[in-house]
């Protein structure tokens, strides 16, 4: 079955109500690398129950409707899809625990043509379950490599800008673990591409790759450290393009530029000297 433009645009992605605890927030922080330096007390609020805090990027795993594109009815060749771009806007700081509702919908499709794939744009809004107050908006682009020719020329929800040409103002290198993808999937993204070597090979990779959103979170950690002084309320937005896959165990080096109105960033996989996140921008509140 192939993608049908109208059917996919109207696909009924289920609304998700999710309660999460301080322990869930700690698991997420550990799964994206917080606590690697056990003497860094600035990281303790994210991994220790005294005065607990949530990482801003944790919003991407809350109210998550699961791997809904795997449903045969979508027509998506799910084995060949890759996460292309991700945006996050926080309308208020994310609590360390609570109950939220995630509402996801497809907002557009951009067909690259037969044999060239299609980009599916989706948006998830995250709401407080009691008040329905908007906590976060998450925009996502998924490149469906096997699904060109479906029709659709919708514009992307995000406008990504290039990295500055000058030298970065700050650089932050953070390690990942060989088992990082296996840890991260416990936060709710169970795509077998990140765990099963056979599925990874079928998708064209020689071994399971790291979740793009885990790479995104590692870059978010770098921004939190270098631009926010580990104050999560200061990181108000973040967006980037996934330029290349990351293999668990690689070191991720994030370069940061302080601009007039925001912060630009780019992330490299050090061992292969390749950019894995490009066109990065983040909103930072003044201290």
Q: Which residues form the catalytic set?
A: 189, 194
pLDDT at residue 221 is higher than 80: yes
DSSP element (H, E) containing 46: helix 44-47
CB atoms within 10 A of CB 52: 19
The pLDDT > 90 percentage for the chain reads: 83
- Write out pLDDT tens, residues 258-273: 998 899 999 999 999 9
Give residue 36's pLDDT. Answer: 93
pLDDT score at 132 = 98
**pTM (2 d.p.):** 0.93
With cut-offs at 50, 70 and 90, classify the pLDDT of residue 191.
confident
| 149 compared with 250, residue with greater pLDDT | 250
Q: SS3 helix, strand, coil % of the chain, rounded to 5? A: 25, 30, 40
Mean pLDDT value across residues 45-58: 96
Q: 112 vs 1, which has greater pLDDT?
A: 112
Chain centroid to Cα 49, Å, comes to 25
Give the pLDDT band of residue 1 (cuts 50, 70, 90).
Answer: low
State the average pLDDT over residues 14-29: 98
Structure tokens at 88: 């996050």
Give the pair of three-digit tokens for residue 26. 């700690």
Say yes or no to pLDDT of 227 above 70.
yes
Question: What is the average pLDDT across 168-187?
Answer: 97
- The side-by-side arrangement of strands in the sheet containing 134-144 is 16-20, 98-111, 118-128, 134-144, 81-90, 235-242, 274-284, 263-269, 251-258, 170-175
Query: Rounded to whole angstroms, how far apart are CA atoms 110 and 160?
Result: 16
pLDDT at 82 over 90: no
Q: What is the pLDDT of residue 55?
A: 98
């Amino acid at each position: 079955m192939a993608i049908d433009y109208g059917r996919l645009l109207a696909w009924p992605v289920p609304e998700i109500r999710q309660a999460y605890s301080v322990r869930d927030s700690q698991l997420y922080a550990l799964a994206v690398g917080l606590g690697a330096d056990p003497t860094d007390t600035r990281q303790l609020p994210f991994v220790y129950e005294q005065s607990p805090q949530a990482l801003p990027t944790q919003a991407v795993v809350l109210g998550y409707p699961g791997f809904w594109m795997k449903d045969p009815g979508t027509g998506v060749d799910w084995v060949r899809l890759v996460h292309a771009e991700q945006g996050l806007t926080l309308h208020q700081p994310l609590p360390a625990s609570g109950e939220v509702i995630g509402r996801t919908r497809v907002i557009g499709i951009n067909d690259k043509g037969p044999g060239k794939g299609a980009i599916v744009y989706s948006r998830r809004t995250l709401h407080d379950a009691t008040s329905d107050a908007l906590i976060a908006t998450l925009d996502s682009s998924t490149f469906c490599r096997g699904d060109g020719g479906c029709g659709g020329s919708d514009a992307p929800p995000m406008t990504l800008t290039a990295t500055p040409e000058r030298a970065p103002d700050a650089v932050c290198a953070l390690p990942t673990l060989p088992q990082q993808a296996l840890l991260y999937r416990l936060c709710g993204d169970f795509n077998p591409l990140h765990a099963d070597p056979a599925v990874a090979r079928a998708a064209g990779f020689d071994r399971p790759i790291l979740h793009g959103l885990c790479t995104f979170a590692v870059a978010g950690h770098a921004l939190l450290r270098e631009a926010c002084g580990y104050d999560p309320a200061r990181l108000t937005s973040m967006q980037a393009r996934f330029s290349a896959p990351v293999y668990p165990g690689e070191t991720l080096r994030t370069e940061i530029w302080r601009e007039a109105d925001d912060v630009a960033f780019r992330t490299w996989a050090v061992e292969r000297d390749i950019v894995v996140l490009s066109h990065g921008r983040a909103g930072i509140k003044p201290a």
